[in-house]
Amino acid sequence: MEDALLLHRLQFAFTVSFHYLFPQLTMGLALLIVIMKWLAFRTGNELYNNSARFWAKIFAFNFAIGVVTGIPMEFQFGTNWARFSVFAGGVIGQTLAMEGVFAFFLESSFLGLFLFGEKKLGQRLHFFTSVMVFIGSWLSGYFIVATNAWMQHPVAYEVGANGNLSLSSFWGLLFLSMDRMAVHAQHDRRSGYIVVRRGRHWRILPSRAQA
């Protein structure tokens, strides 16, 4: 029994750790793409638009990998931690469902518009789609951080007659993770900045060498 529990923990830890690399970068790039689009809209400098388009492609690829690595993690709540999911599903199911139904579809829908609808939408609406992608990605991260925060420090719940937990305060669950999200946001922003800065060097240095 102990060996099986250890294997479950190792498997879930590997899945979560590998998956975490991608949403972190997605959230950081989303913020920088909004800034690029805003600068393009305010200054009319096409360089910012070109940068936003380039990094949006990297964002989309990273987003897709994040989805692929996240699906097994969701299933492992049932395969590895079935009893916990039954026991606490009335609480953590709220934030996990909102992440999938609201945040994920918001992000993915407007990402499609951002990637393929620029000519149809115009600059104002295209900038708006970048903002919505940013909101969707950060809402998604917030709901996941809220779930993790509750598992570390459970609040706003009550025990039902069947012995399982149910949510007693929706806002208590969401506001629990405000401080954790602030720290998480700093890491996301730095991750995006580092990747964009290194990518800039990768594109500029070879051209300088050829010159």
pLDDT higher than 60, residue 205: no
**What are the C-alpha distances in Å from 164 to residues 5, 105, 158, 174?**
22, 30, 8, 20
Domain boundaries, the chain: 2-210
Q: Measured between alpha carbons, how far is 159 from 161 in angstroms, rounded to an integer?
A: 7
The pTM (predicted TM-score) of the whole model is 0.83
In terms of C-beta density within 10 A (0-12 exposed, 13-18 middle, 19 or more buried), how is residue 6 classed? Answer: exposed
Q: Measured between alpha carbons, how far is 19 from 133 in angstroms, rounded to an integer?
A: 19
Q: Which helix (H) or strand (E) holds 158?
A: strand 157-159
State the angle between helix axes of 46-79 and 105-116 in degrees (0 to 180), rounded to the nearest 10.
150
Does residue 200 or residue 166 have the better pLDDT? 166
- Averaged over 21-27, what is the pLDDT? 86
Instruction: pLDDT band for 78, please (50, 70, 90 cuts).
Output: confident
The CB-side HSE value for 122 (13 A sphere, CA atoms) comes to 2
